[in-house]
Amino acid sequence: MSFPLYAPAEEHEMLRETVRALAEEKIAPHAAEVDETGEFPWDACKALVAADLHAVHVPEEYDGAGADALAAVIVIEEVARACASSSLIPAVNKLGTVPLLLSAAEDLKRRYLPPVARGEAMFSYALSEAEAGSDAAAMRTRAVRDGDHYVLNGTKMWITNAGVSEYYTVMAVTDPAAGPRGISAFVVEKSDEGVSFGPKERKLGIKGSPTRQVILENVHIPATRRIGEEGTGFKTALATLDHTRITIAAQALGIAQGALDHAIHYVKERKQFGRPLADFQGLQFMLADMAMKLEAARQLTYAAAAKSDQAMHGTRSPDLTFFSSAAKCAASDAAMEITTDAVQLLGGYGYTRDYPLERMMRDAKITQIYEGTNQIQRMVMARQLLK
């Protein structure tokens, strides 16, 4: 693929400036408090909605901005640079709605996408279960047809922004004998009778984004809320992740960039042995490696975003699966290394909450785990190579 396909255009750089200014003014000042209290970042959410940056990927025909995948990456990246928890607002809105964009009937799209585009509701994604994490096809949540309705029973696990989002894409088994081909996708509303949520998980990082169980007890929903044909849910789930792993790469890039920026500022100002830390070659080499890893991951992520756009617009992109897994894996591994080195560069201060580096290091870890662990990403990439 040639470079111009994914090089940011002038409008992308203008968008970056807009998001960075908003994030620094209205999101970064609250990031430490969000982490400390574990409360959902409503101030950040309101600021993103006011600037129409909460779900830029929704097409114009559904009241959205119609932004391309690279624009969505840039939004998530710049918000994550300030606050990883807040970056999950645009990221999870995309994760929850991509199944509709890929597979839903037009009536379903017109019912659920405009409220998300207008900032009236958020949309989460419910695939994993307690015994079906990396092996998502082992899910036990059932959806049984009852006339013109389905009845859903089961418990979804590790659901990001659960309890805050109004809508949920839920994967459930409709034909237990058919394996992965017996899984279907549905839209469930928070207000549906029988929907409840488990307690918030007590987590290492991204503490401002609630992670909870979604509990379904005899939830009756109209059959018109099925996304695509019966039995196509798992295929839709995997196709969705091809597009949305790129948003996790973007989140990782933002966390890493924030850590690198803070580390550079610190080593310029901090003096030891009568000289700024920035004068010491050993530390210069650390910074150079951090920046190199970050930029390599960024270019891979932007290339993956270009392939996502091609696939979304009907152009065959056979290597999207490889690129999305590679971007997510490379960016999250880089973020973990960069944030760890940034803490090291600040020494004892890096280990305290007086500086944001320890939070960024904790937040970075989840990017190696969710939307498919990096071990799973390597399996996915290897399968693509060996086809």
Report the alpha-carbon distance of residue 356 to residue 339 in Å, rounded: 10
Eight-state DSSP code of residue 196: E
Place of tokens 């803070």: 262
Q: Is 371 a catalytic residue?
A: yes
The per-residue b/e assignment along 312-347, b for 16 or more CB within 10 angstroms, e otherwise, is: beeeebeebbbbbbbbbbbbbbbbbbbbbbbbebbe
Contact 34, 89 (CB under 8 A): no
CA 86, CA 209: separation in Å to the nearest integer?
7
Angle separating helix axes 320-346 and 233-269, nearest 10 degrees: 30
Q: Mapping DSSP to helix (H, G, I), strand (E, B) and coil, where does residue 290 land?
A: helix
Exposure pattern of 36-68 as b/e (b: 16+ CB <10 Å)?
A: eeeebbebbbebbbebebbbbbbeeebbbbebb
Q: What is the distance, to the nearest Å, from the Cα of residue 2 to the centroid of all Cα atoms in its chain?
A: 26
CA distances to 65, 91, 377 from 327, in Å: 25, 15, 10
What are the structure tokens assigned to 168, written together?
């949920």
201, 213 in Cβ contact below 8 A? no
Q: Which of 77, 230, 358, 371 is catalytic?
A: 371
CA dihedral 233, 213, 81, 359 (to 10 degrees): -150
Of 57, 55, 68, 69, the residue nearest 118 (C-alpha): 55
Q: Report the C-alpha dihedral over residues 12, 48, 45, 185, rounded to 10 degrees.
A: -60
Catalytic positions: 371
